[in-house]
Amino acid sequence: MSADPSSLQELFTKRVVLMTGKGGVGRSSMTAALATLAQRKGVRVLICDIGDDPNDYSPLARHFGRDRLPSQPEVISPGIRGVVLLARSGQELFLKSVLRSGTLARAALSSDALRRLLSAGPSFKEMGVFFQLLTLLRAKQSDGAPVNELVLIDMPATGHTLSLTGLPELLLRLVPRGPIAAALREGQSYLNDPKLGAAWVVAIPETLPVSECLELLEGLHKTGMPTGGVLMNRIPVDPFSAAERSALESTLERINPLGAEGFRRPVLARREIARLRAGTKLPIIEVPELAHSAELIAGLATALAEGLKP
Ligand SMILES: Nc1ncnc2c1ncn2[C@@H]1O[C@H](COP(=O)(O)OP(=O)(O)OP(=O)(O)O)[C@@H](O)[C@H]1O
Ligand SMILES: [Mg+2]
């Protein structure tokens, strides 16, 4: 693990954290590991998947022994709650608050034309997710404290993240006043306030993922989304000492055997991390590659916790 423990520590003081990054880099595993750490710290954490169908299989839920997350927040593991954010439930909530009646909202949603508009119209899908998220952030306990102190969202893909973070500004240009505008501004007050919201980008130390990570950081900046840092996942552990490594490198250069790339992975990884460091001032938290096992998430949580030690 790397330096910057305080920046990762800060993640646990936010209300909403978007876990984003290119496909397959470990967003779901990191979301599960961070939720485990939050729970160990006594933070009331809610993890969210974003889905189209409540019956879809969820790799995030799998880490907690389930096939999918519930469509209403529910305890999925001691001290950890989970929910799947569905565009449609959010749209219903949203229409309810605009139309001030559940019956009217349901009637509106059952009209085919409106449903088509809501699923095809620009940004309406994100609007549903956005509004459901807002409802979860607003929820208060009887003592006034938030029900969900930290909402951790396993974002589906880079493009979707930028659609969500760019949504308020886009829609506020079209609808600057009224209840929609008020909801968008309230959402912005969480997401775009660096004290309350952050996006963390998960990446792996390879050429394309690092380039995409740099592009994503720029995209997030353009949409006004504060960024916490990069979780550089799956860093291969170099089994060789520096002397062994230099002997190995000269041999590899000489004979260039089949599989030389595999031997070079740790070296290439360091090069890509250096390239990322040159491209951003944000903290980069290094997470090792661990053996595949049922204990992966607990292992990742422990590796992250090690890095939190001053
Ligand atoms: N640090 C790690 N060490 C070893 N294996 C890891 C590590 N992080 C993630 N993995 C493995 O990599 C694979 C992809 O991880 P994960 O599903 O979390 O990625 P993702 O970004 O959510 O993918 P998707 O784009 O499919 O949603 C999984 O098999 C996971 O077990
Ligand atoms: Mg995933």
Among 26, 17, 37, residue whose Cα is nearest residue 308 = 37
What is the distance in A from the centroid of ligand 1 to the CA of 233?
Answer: 9
Residue 233 Cβ < 6 Å to ligand 1: yes
Using CA atoms, how far residue 221 sits from 43, 70, 190, 277, 282, in Å, is 28, 32, 16, 17, 12
Among 264, 241, 239, residue whose Cα is nearest residue 251 = 264
Closest residue by CA, ligand 1 atom 24: 24
At 151 the pLDDT is 98
At 102 the pLDDT is 65
Closest residue by CA, ligand 1 atom 25: 23
Fold exhibited by the domain 5-237+283-308:
Rossmann fold (3.40.50)
| Nearest bound ligand to the CA of residue 202 | 1
Q: What contacts 24+ positions apart, CB below 8 Å, involve 72-78? A: 73/46, 73/136, 73/147, 73/148, 76/47, 77/39, 78/39
Centroid of chain to Cα 122: 22
At 307 the pLDDT is 72
| pLDDT (tens place) for every residue of the chain, 310 residues total | 454 567 889 999 999 999 999 999 999 999 999 999 999 999 999 999 998 888 889 999 999 999 999 999 999 999 999 999 987 777 777 777 666 666 666 666 666 666 665 565 556 677 888 889 999 999 999 999 999 999 999 998 777 888 889 888 887 887 788 777 888 899 999 999 999 999 999 999 999 999 999 999 999 999 999 999 999 999 998 888 888 888 888 887 788 777 777 778 888 999 999 999 999 999 999 999 999 888 999 999 999 998 776 5
At 113 the pLDDT is 60
Sequence length of the chain is 310
**112-120 and 124-138 helices, crossing angle to 10°:** 90
| Nearest bound ligand to the CA of residue 34 | 1
pTM: 0.89
Residue with the two structure tokens 């809501």 = 118
Q: What is the C-alpha to C-alpha distance for residues 65 and 59, in angstroms, rounded to an integer?
A: 10
Residue 28 Cβ < 6 Å to ligand 1: yes
Q: Which atom of ligand 1 is nearest to the CA of 156?
A: 27
Residue 34 Cβ < 6 Å to ligand 1: no
At 197 the pLDDT is 97
At 116 the pLDDT is 61
Domains of the chain, by residue range, sit at 5-237+283-308
What is the distance in A from the centroid of ligand 1 to the CA of 202?
Answer: 10
Residue 26: CB atoms within 10 Å: 23
Q: Please report, for the chain, how many H helices and E strands are present, in that order.
A: 13, 8
